[in-house]
């Protein structure tokens, strides 16, 4: 199985190993990350990405900060600053700060205890992904019918985006394993082509029939009746069930509502942020102009033109048919608000 993130235990030289997702599918290259600055760079340039994988990166990042701090003679304040810089490396995905916060609670107990918690985060994510995939596949087959289904998905939510297995992709994989998946339309996903480069790569490896399409075709594909459902991941789920995901997601939700087919969001429960009431309060990361105005390192826009490059958009809960986590399935349009309480328990499941 693909492992997007792993801890390599090598004594004083222990480090994080990442598959460099910026080079896929042309190269399968691993990054050996032994310093906090290297990890932050990998997170910000999307060498490691996906909310669940970022949760594991946050946990392992705390262990890395303690190790580097011990090696370099950092003060407690410098270690704190390093951990905070990891937690804040990308603002929209709640899992990164969640993972760093969870592992960081055990700092006083030492490096080994922090590392054990980071390992627990990664192991729990794989178990959660497999369970939510089973629940999501069951829900879809019950709702649509027990027959091979046609799907559309956006961005990358497979093993590359998680500690293992996948979230929205995991549901597709589960349906495929049951013989209940006919075809997947994978959106290319602008501006870094995560669908073309990563989702298609995983689908091909897993032997799942699929077509890659430009993002601008997605709504028409749905409205023409070419798919039976849409399934995407999430980087943050608010208390009322609004979800943030890679920009372009909300267009699929609108088209699904018009067509009358399910629009499903799948994520581990760690992605739920009950402290944020609605999607209006989510900070949307904006990235550099060059990701939009250049292709393959060559500028394609008129010199001096600026770009608007939000990395995410927010899908309102009333456009979402189901939110699937390992704890159950909630249907935001027909269940009480808020869906999620501050104690992290699901109100309806």
Annotated binding site for substrate: 49-51, 90, 194, 245-246
Closest alpha carbon to 317 in 255, 220, 261, 250: 250
Q: How many CB atoms lie within 10 A of CB 202?
A: 24
Collapsing DSSP to helix, strand or coil, 96 comes out as: helix
Exposed, middle or buried by CB within 10 Å (0-12, 13-18, 19+), for 281? middle
Sign of dihedral through CA atoms 39, 168, 316, 289? positive
Q: Which residues of 303-318 are buried (b: 16+ CB within 10 A; e: fewer)?
A: eeeeeebebbbbbbbe
Q: Binding site, residues?
A: 49-51, 90, 194, 245-246
Is 235 among the residues known to form the active site?
yes
Name the β-bridge partners of 273.
238
Active-site position among 228, 235, 242, 313: 235
Determine the Cα–Cα distance for residues 275 and 75; give it in Å rounded to an integer.
32
The dihedral region occupied by 26, where left means phi > 0, alpha psi between -120 and 50, and beta the remainder, is alpha
Burial zone of 268 (CB within 10 Å; 0-12 exposed, 13-18 middle, 19+ buried): buried
Kindly give the interhelix angle for 76-87 and 51-72, rounded to the nearest 10 degrees.
Answer: 160
Q: Which residues are catalytic, by number?
A: 235
């Amino acid at each position: 199985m693909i492992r997007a993130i792993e801890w390599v235990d090598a004594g004083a030289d222990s480090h994080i190993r990442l598959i460099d997702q910026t080079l896929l599918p042309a190269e399968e290259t691993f990054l050996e990350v032994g310093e906090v600055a290297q990890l932050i760079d990998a997170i910000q340039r999307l060498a490691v990405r996906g909310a669940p994988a970022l949760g594991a990166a946050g946990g392992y990042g705390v262990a890395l900060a303690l190790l580097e701090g011990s090696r370099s003679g950092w003060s407690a304040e410098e270690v704190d600053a390093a951990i905070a810089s990891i937690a804040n490396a990308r603002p929209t995905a709640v899992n990164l700060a969640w993972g760093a916060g969870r592992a960081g609670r055990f700092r006083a107990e030492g490096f080994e205890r922090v590392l054990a918690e980071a390992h627990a985060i990664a192991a729990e994510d794989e178990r959660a992904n497999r369970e939510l995939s089973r629940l999501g596949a069951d829900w879809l087959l019950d709702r649509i019918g027990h027959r091979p289904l046609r799907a559309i998905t956006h961005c990358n939510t497979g093993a590359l985006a998680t500690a293992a297995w996948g979230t929205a992709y995991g549901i597709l994989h589960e349906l495929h394993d049951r013989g209940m998946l006919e075809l997947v339309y994978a959106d290319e996903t602008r501006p870094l082509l995560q669908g073309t480069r990563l989702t298609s790569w995983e689908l091909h490896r897993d032997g799942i029939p699929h077509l890659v399409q430009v993002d601008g075709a997605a709504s028409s594909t749905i409205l023409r009746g070419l798919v039976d459902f849409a399934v995407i991941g999430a980087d943050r789920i608010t208390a009322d069930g609004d979800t943030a995901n890679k920009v372009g997601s909300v267009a699929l939700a609108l088209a699904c509502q018009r067509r009358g087919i399910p629009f499903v969001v799948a994520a581990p429960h760690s992605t739920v942020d009950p402290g944020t009431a609605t999607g209006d309060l989510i900070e949307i990361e904006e990235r550099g102009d060059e990701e939009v105005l250049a292709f393959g390192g060559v500028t394609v826009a008129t010199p001096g033109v600026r770009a608007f490059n939000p990395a995410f958009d927010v899908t309102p809960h009333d456009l979402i048919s189901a939110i699937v986590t390992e704890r159950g399935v909630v249907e935001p349009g027909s269940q009480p608000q808020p869906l999620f309480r501050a104690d992290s328990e699901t109100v309806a499941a």
